[in-house]
């Protein structure tokens, strides 16, 4: 199996997250000999933690890169020391950081970047991906909508939804439905901040998901009780 984690933070070594990371835990529990793990994290301060996190997994590949929406070779990322030590909302969108820390001093660093399709083609180098998790602090929607679905066969997509507008949710769900995906409830995030879409034709879920964008985030758990598993 192929696991791809975009925006891994410090993995399961982030004390502010009580040393939990849903997708990291999912990978460690489910990966087997012969599987491949691809981890992307933009913040260089988190890379040593990720190396420690995956020190016993020789099949893990860790990349200190940004994902570019506009094909830049380098990106500025913004952060504040008030978000230390793992800078959970470090982002290539300064407005995303300001939303969380409006009164903080903002700093930045520059880092090499790739488009999502170039990353999947050049670094992952597998057309079939079993599990993809997207947590890219402000560019989740743009990243997902940029994936070449004709080129990459992704079986399960978990994407953070808490920063998406209702219109972005509506357009994303329609896009995924049109590409063969069905909504499957919460994704792999341990805080239930992710939606999960599976590449299956579950007609009832597809019908229900057309109304998902109207549901407030705190009511999604009740909506998910209607979903066919």
Per-residue confidence (pLDDT) for residue 22, from 0 to 100:
96
List own/partner pairs for 45-52 with CB under 8 A and 24 or more apart.
45/85, 45/86, 45/87, 46/8, 46/9, 46/10, 46/86, 46/87, 49/10, 49/11, 49/13, 49/14, 49/86, 50/8, 50/10, 50/11, 52/13
Q: Is the pLDDT of residue 109 over 90?
A: yes
CA distances from 133 to 3, 101, 183, 203 (A): 8, 25, 15, 23
**Sheet hosting strand 153-160, strand order edge to edge:** 60-63, 36-40, 2-6, 128-134, 153-160, 194-198, 182-186
Query: In the predicted model, is pLDDT for residue 140 greater than 90?
Result: yes
Q: What does the pLDDT look like over 143-175, one tens digit per residue?
A: 999 999 999 999 999 999 999 999 999 999 999
Evaluate if pTM is beyond 0.75.
yes
pLDDT digits (tens, 9 = 90+) for 182-198: 999 999 999 999 999 99
Domain residue ranges of the chain, discontinuous segments joined by +: 2-68+114-216
The pLDDT-based confidence of 229 (bands split at 50, 70, 90) is confident
What does pLDDT average to over the chain?
96
Query: Which of 8, 17, 19 is closest to 45 using CA atoms?
Result: 8
Query: What pLDDT, on a 0 to 100 scale, did the predictor assign at position 168?
Result: 97
pLDDT tops 80 at residue 206: yes
CATH class of 2-68+114-216: alpha beta
């Amino acid at each position: 199996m192929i696991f791809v984690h975009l925006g891994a933070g410090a993995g399961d070594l982030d004390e502010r997250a009580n040393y939990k990371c849903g997708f990291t835990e999912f990978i460690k529990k489910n990966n087997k000999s012969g599987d491949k793990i691809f981890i992307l994290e933009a913040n260089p301060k988190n890379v040593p933690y990720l190396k420690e996190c995956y020190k016993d997994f020789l099949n893990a590949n860790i990349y200190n890169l940004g994902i570019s929406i506009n094909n830049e070779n380098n990106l500025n990322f913004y952060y504040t020391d008030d978000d230390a030590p793992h800078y959970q909302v470090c982002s290539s969108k300064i407005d995303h950081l300001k939303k969380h820390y409006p009164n903080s001093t903002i700093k930045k660093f520059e880092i090499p970047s790739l488009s999502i399709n170039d990353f999947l083609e050049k670094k992952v180098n597998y057309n079939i991906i079993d599990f993809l998790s997207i947590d890219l602090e402000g560019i989740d929607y743009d990243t997902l909508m940029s994936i070449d679905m004709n080129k990459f066969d992704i079986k399960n997509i978990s994407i953070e939804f808490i920063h998406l507008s209702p219109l972005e949710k509506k357009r994303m769900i329609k896009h995924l439905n049109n590409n063969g995906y069905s909504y499957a409830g919460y994704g792999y995030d341990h805080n239930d901040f992710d939606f999960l879409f599976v590449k299956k034709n579950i007609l009832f879920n597809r019908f229900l998901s057309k109304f998902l964008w109207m549901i407030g985030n705190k009511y999604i758990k009740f909506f998910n009780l209607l979903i066919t598993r």
